[in-house]
Structure 1
Amino acid sequence: MKGRVFSGIRAVLFDLDGTLIDSAPDLGAAADLMRTGRGLHALPLERYRPLAGSGARGMLQVAFDMSPEHLDYEAHKEEFFVHYEACLMQRTRAFPEVSEMLDALMQRGLTWGVVTNKSQRFTTPLTRAMPLFDTAKTIISGDTTPHAKPHPAPLLEAARRLSRPSAMCLYVGDDERDIAAGRAAGMQTVAARYGYLGLGADVSRWNADAEVTSPMGLLKLLELP
C-alpha cells in the first residue's frame, strides 16, 4: 500500500479486467487459438498476461505482432472476438480477496460499480454469469458512452448513475488509462499493482493518489464513514 488515506468517499468504482477479475487466461487462449489454427506454435500465458488489459489490441500484438494500423487488423480482431466469446468464462475468476474486499466496502455503507473499456458484448454476459457482480450498483462498458477511457465520460456517467459527485468517488484500476480517466473526472485514484499493468509499466509515473498490492489493501486507504 502506498499513498494517502481518503476521506469523504461514498462510492468506489473499479476497472474490470486486471482489477476485479483475472481474465487473462481466456483472453490469451482465444488469441493463441488463432496462432495454432495458422500452424504457429502456442505461446505461454505469461506472454499474454501483461497486455490482457488492452483486450484485442494487446492480444493481437502478442500473438501476431499486429497493431491496429495493419491492413488485416479489423478482420483479426473480429476473429479474436468470436474465439473469446466462445471461452468467455472457462478460466476467468475473481482475483483473490476481491469478494471479501467488496463485502467490506458494503459493510461500511459504500456503494461500488464497474467502469471498463470492455465492450457490452462481453461485459454483460460475463458480469451476469458471476455472482460477484450481483451487488454492483452500476456497470459501465467501453461503448456505454461515446468515449472510452482515458476519456472521463464513462466515469462521469457512472457517478451520475450512482447519484454521487465525482469528488466522493474513488476509481481503482491497473492501467495508466484508468488513472488518467479518474483524474480527468475529478475522482481520487488508486493503482492496482497486482493487475496486468502493461509491458514495462512504471506505475510510479501514473500519478495515482495511492497504490495497492492486493485488493484488501484498498480498505486501509479508506477512513471509516
Structure 2
Amino acid sequence: MKIEAVLFDLDGTLADTALDLGGALNTMLRSKNLPEVAMDDIRPVASHGASGLLKLGMNMDKTHPNHAALRQEYLDTYEQCFDQDTVLFEGINEVIAEIAARGLKWGIITNKPHTFTHRLVPSLGFSVAPDVEVSGDTTGEAKPSVKPMLYACEQIGVNPQACLYVGDAQRDMIAGKNAGMKTVLVSWGYIHADDDTANWPADVVIDTPMQLLDLC
C-alpha cells in the first residue's frame, strides 16, 4: 500500500530531549544528596520516561511504595526545564518539509504526557506543523498499546497500513507493528548497548533522517 503518512515518536527520534530529562533527574538527586548520573548513562534510557530515569538514578522500580510520589516529584522538576536545552536532531526539519511537500501527512505519537507535549512541540520550530499529535495520556493507554496509533490514524483519516511509524524504542516498533504500520527504527535514538534491536519488530533501520525519504 502506498505510504500516505509518516508518524514519529518524539524523544530520541525527532528531538534530543536527554539534556532536559537528565537535568531534571540530576536536580532531583542533588536535592536528596544523592550522586548525579553522567549524561552518557542517561541518554540510553531517556526514552523510558520518568520511571526509567528513577530506576537509573535511584534504583527504584514501579513496585516501590514511594514510586508514584517520586515520579510526580520528577515530573514537577522536569516542568521547570522541559524546553531549556531540547532541540530537533540534525536533518529532521528538512525531512519534515519534504514529507509535506510530497503531500503526505505527518504526526507525533509520544508517551510524553500532554502537559509537556502541547507546549514543547510548538517550541521546537518544525518547518511544518504536525497534522496530529498524540500524547501518552491522550487515549488512556501509552505505547506499546495500539490505541494511540489507531487514534492518530483516525484523526488524519489514513489507514494504518499506509503509515510509517518511526521510533527509537522497542515499544515503538511493537505498537507500530501491531497497528499494521510499517516500522522504522532510528539508530541515532536512545538505544542502550544491551538492547537486542535485531529482535525488535522493525521493518527497516535507518542511520540518518534523510534515509526516511527513500521509504515514502
Do these two structures clear the TM 0.5 threshold for a shared fold by scoring above it? yes
The answer on 1:44 being equivalent to 2:45 is no
Partner in structure 1 of residue 49 of structure 2:
55
* TM-score (norm. length: structure 2): 0.96
The answer on 1:208 being equivalent to 2:177 is no
1:121-140 correspondence runs (5 A): 121-132=115-126, 134-140=128-134
Partner in structure 1 of residue 135 of structure 2:
141
One-letter identity of the residue aligned with 1:80: Y
Which of 188, 191, 204 in structure 2 is aligned with 1:197?
191
Give CA deviations for 1:182-219 in whole Å, capped at 9, x if unaligned: 11111111011110024511211102110111111111
In structure 2, distance between residues paired with 1:134 and 1:75? 38
Moved more, 129-138 or 80-89: 129-138
Partner in structure 2 of residue 157 of structure 1:
151
Q: Note if contact 1:175-1:191 (Cα within 8 Å) is conserved in structure 2.
A: yes
Q: Note if contact 1:12-1:172 (Cα within 8 Å) is conserved in structure 2.
A: yes
One-letter identity of the residue aligned with 2:4: R
Partner in structure 2 of residue 218 of structure 1:
212
The answer on 1:110 being equivalent to 2:104 is yes
Which of 57, 71, 81 in structure 2 is aligned with 1:77?
71
RMSD: 1.2
In structure 2, distance between residues paired with 1:61 and 1:120? 23
Give CA deviations for 1:6-31 in whole Å, capped at 9, x if unaligned: x6001000000000001000000101
The answer on 1:173 being equivalent to 2:132 is no
The answer on 1:92 being equivalent to 2:82 is no
Higher relative contact order by CA 8 Å / sep ≥ 6: 1 or 2? 1
User: How far does residue 42 in structure 1 lie from its aligned partner after superposition?
Assistant: 2.1
User: How far does residue 144 in structure 1 lie from its aligned partner after superposition?
Assistant: 0.7
SS in 2 for 1:36: helix
One-letter identity of the residue aligned with 2:80: A
Moved more, 48-57 or 213-222: 213-222
- State percent identity of aligned pairs: 39
In structure 2, distance between residues paired with 1:66 and 1:180? 25
SS in 2 for 1:207: coil
One-letter identity of the residue aligned with 2:176: G
Partner in structure 1 of residue 61 of structure 2:
67
Partner in structure 2 of residue 29 of structure 1:
23
SS in 1 for 2:126: helix
* TM-score (norm. length: structure 1): 0.92
User: How far does residue 164 in structure 1 lie from its aligned partner after superposition?
Assistant: 0.6
In structure 1, distance between residues paired with 2:55 and 2:124? 29
In structure 1, distance between residues paired with 2:43 and 2:124? 21
In structure 1, distance between residues paired with 2:132 and 2:57? 33
In structure 1, distance between residues paired with 2:61 and 2:140? 23
Q: Note if contact 2:177-2:201 (Cα within 8 Å) is conserved in structure 1.
A: no
